């Protein structure tokens, strides 16, 4: 049984499939780290919710793949996510991504083209990739292609990391003036406002106590 209550309902706030995949963890690098994907079942639920697979395709993939193949695919997905996190966490904070990580992404991305076909698509031709339910680990490939699309899309200045306490979710800021700060204003933004308000009240109380004690 799945160990995650949120694998199939995590908010899709990233603006790209690869970023939403990165956001299947919360609080990376902190003591409050939370994992949202624990096994292949969770991965499939996430893929269905993000419309990478239809419910029928997800169920069929689960039924026809062996436990060993599922475990290997889940391990590969977690390795891919760690790689993307290294890249996007750095870029979102204005740093240069680790060249080794970028090279590894390029290698994985290049491999997805090995199974692509150039097919007739009137009025011309188009590339057709394997469907994400072709095999247990095929759903990783669209995520890698999405990651490269983000990096080559010419808008990396809009890639941000949420500054919310123990959050760190990454997203593309699609606002007109690039003023978005939070992954979700009603979640991290509201929590920050509440913390600021509480700190202000504590400060007022402390000053009042100091005034009263000095005047006694």
Q: In this predicted model, what pLDDT tens digit does every residue of 54-106 receive, in sequence order?
A: 999 999 999 999 999 999 999 999 999 999 999 999 999 999 999 999 999 99
Mean of the per-residue pLDDT values for the chain? 90
Q: Which residues pair with 171 in a beta bridge?
A: 160
End-to-end CA distance of the chain: 65
How far apart are alpha carbons 216 and 20 in whole angstroms?
58
Report the pLDDT value the prediction gives residue 99, as an integer from 0 to 100: 97
Is it the case that residue 214 has pLDDT exceeding 70?
A: no
> Which residue's entry shows tokens 């606002």?
175
How far apart are alpha carbons 187 and 194 in whole angstroms?
11
Report the pLDDT value the prediction gives residue 186, as an integer from 0 to 100: 75
Domain parsing of the chain, residue ranges: 17-177, 184-216
Q: Render pLDDT for 117-159 as a digit per residue (tens, 0 to 9).
A: 999 999 999 999 999 999 999 999 999 999 999 999 999 999 9
CATH class of the domain defined by 17-177: mainly alpha
Is it the case that residue 11 has pLDDT exceeding 70?
A: yes
How far apart are alpha carbons 201 and 8 in whole angstroms?
39
Report the pLDDT value the prediction gives residue 105, as an integer from 0 to 100: 98
Is it the case that residue 1 has pLDDT exceeding 80?
A: no
Give the CA angle between residues 13, 149, 28 to the nearest 5°: 45
Q: Under 8 Å CB-to-CB from 92, ≥6 apart: which residues?
A: 159, 160, 161, 170
CB atoms within 10 A of CB 143: 25
Q: What tokens appear for 27 in the block? A: 């609080």
Helix (H, G, I), strand (E, B), or coil: what is residue 25? strand
Q: Render pLDDT for 94-126 as a digit per residue (tens, 0 to 9).
A: 999 999 999 999 999 999 999 999 999 999 999
């Amino acid at each position: 049984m799945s160990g995650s209550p949120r694998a199939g309902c995590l908010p899709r706030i990233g603006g790209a499939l690869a970023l939403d995949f990165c956001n299947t963890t919360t609080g990376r690098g902190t003591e409050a780290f939370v994992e949202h994907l624990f096994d292949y079942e969770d991965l499939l639920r996430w893929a269905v919710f993000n419309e990478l697979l239809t419910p029928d395709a997800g169920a069929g993939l689960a039924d026809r793949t062996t436990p060993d193949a599922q475990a290997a695919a889940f391990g590969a997905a977690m390795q891919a996510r760690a790689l993307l996190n290294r890249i996007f966490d750095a870029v979102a904070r204005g740093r240069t991504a680790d060249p080794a990580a970028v090279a590894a992404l390029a290698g994985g991305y290049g491999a997805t083209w090995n199974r692509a076909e150039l097919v007739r698509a009137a009025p011309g031709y188009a590339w057709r990739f394997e469907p994400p339910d072709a095999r247990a680990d095929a759903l990783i490939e669209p995520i890698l292609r999405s990651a490269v699309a983000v990096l080559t899309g010419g808008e990396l200045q809009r890639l941000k990391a949420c500054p919310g306490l123990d959050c760190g979710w990454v997203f593309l800021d699609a606002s007109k003036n690039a003023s978005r700060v939070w992954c979700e204003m009603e979640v991290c933004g509201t929590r920050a406002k509440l913390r600021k308000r509480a700190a202000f009240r504590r400060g007022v109380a402390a000053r009042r106590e100091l005034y009263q004690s000095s005047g006694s």
